[in-house]
Structure 1
C-alpha cells in the first residue's frame, strides 16, 4: 500500500480489521502465485537453452567427424595402403601356418617312408643272405650234377669221364704232394695208372681241366706228374704202358732240361698252351698228379 493512501480514518472496528486482514492475505497470496509462474518460465527457458547448447555441441562433434571422414583421397591413401598391407600380411601368415602344417605332415610321411625303407632293406639283406646260401647250394648241386653227367655212372667220384676213360686230377697242398713213384702207386690203388696221352685231343682235354692255381713261386713245382719217363734209357721217353713217345711238339720250350734244379727223368704237365711237358726229378720233386683208368660201370657209386 502506498504512502499517499495512508490516511488516518480514525479508530477501526474489529470487522474492519478483519476485512483488512483478509484483503492483505489475499494480496499476499496473489503475489505468491505470480512469483511461482515466473520461476516456471525462467526454469523452462533455462532448460530450453541447455538443450540447445547440448544440441549444438552434438552437431559440432558430428560435423567434426563428418569433416574427418570427408578427407581427400590423397590423405586416405596411406590408410588404405596400410589396411591392404595388413590384409596381405594376414594372407602371408595364413600361408605360413598352412606351410608349417604341410611340412609337419611331410616330415611325418618322410619318417614313415624311412622306417619302411629300413624294414625293406633289412628284409632285402636277409633275402640276400638266403640267396647267397642258395647259390652255394646250387653250386654244389651243379658240381654234383656235372660230375654225374660227366661220369655217367662209369667213374669214381671226383673222376672225369671222357669217351672210354676216367681221369683224376689231384689237388693237394704242398705238404701232401707226392713224388713220381708214390703218385703212380696211388693211381694203381684206384685201378688205374699215371696219365698216358695218346693224341692231340687228349692233350687238349687235360690242359682244359687242369687247375690254373699256383701254390709255389717256382713254376715247375706247380705241375702234375704224368706216366712218361726216360728211366730205362736216358733220352728215350716211354709211357707206363710201354709205348715210346717220339713227338716233341708237346714239350715246353727248352725242355727236357739236363741241367739245373729242375732236371730229372720223369715228366710233368703244366701250361695253358699245347706245349706243356717238362722233366723233373722223380724222387726229389713233389707234385700233384693225374691218374687215368678205363671206364667201368662197376666203379660207379
Structure 2
C-alpha cells in the first residue's frame, strides 16, 4: 500500500465520520421538532376541548333558562286559562241569574198587566154604573122629589115597616129598573123592601097594595122555603148570579134586618 492509498483511506473515513455526525444531528433536530409540534397539537386539542366544554356549558345554561322560561310561561298560561274559565263560569252563572230574573220580571209584568186590565174593566164598569145611577136619579127627580133612608136598627119586616111609617115614610116600592139600580147602589147589606105575599101565598103586593108587575129576583127565587113571605134586597156583589137587576130573595118575615124607607 502506498502513501496515496493511505491518504485516500483516511480521507474516506473522515468523510464517512463527518457524514455520520451530520446525519445523527439531523435526526435529533427532527425528533425535537416532532416533539414540539406534538406539544402544540396537544395544546390546541386541549384548548379546543375547553372551548367545546365552555360551549356545552353555555348551551346547557341557555337550555335551562329556556326550559325554565317555558315552564313559567306554561304555568302562567295555565293560570290565565283557569282565570278565564272561572270568569266564563261566573258570567254563565250571572247570565243564568239574569235570565231567571228576566223571566220573573216578565211574569210579574204579565200579572200586573192582567190586574191592570181587571182594574180597568172594573173602573169602566163602575163608571157605567155611576152614569146609569145618575140617569136613574135624574129620572126619579123628574117624577117628583123622593127621599130614601135606611133604618138604624135591625127589626123584623113588620117592625121595619113601622119604623118607616113613624117617620112619615114606608118601606120602599121598586117598580122600575132605574129605581132598582139606584136602591141597589145605596145599600151595603141585606135590607127589607116593601114587598110581600103575607095576605095570600104567591100573590106579591107592595105596601101600597099595588101588585108586583116586574121582579128583580136572584136565581132560583122566590122559592117560599119554610114560609118565606117577605122580600129582601140581597146585597152580595161578586156572588155568582148576582147583579143589580137580580138581587131579590124571599125570606121569613121574622128575620131581623134593616129596612130601606121611601118618603
TM-score normalised over the length of structure 2: 0.41
TM-score normalised over the length of structure 1: 0.36
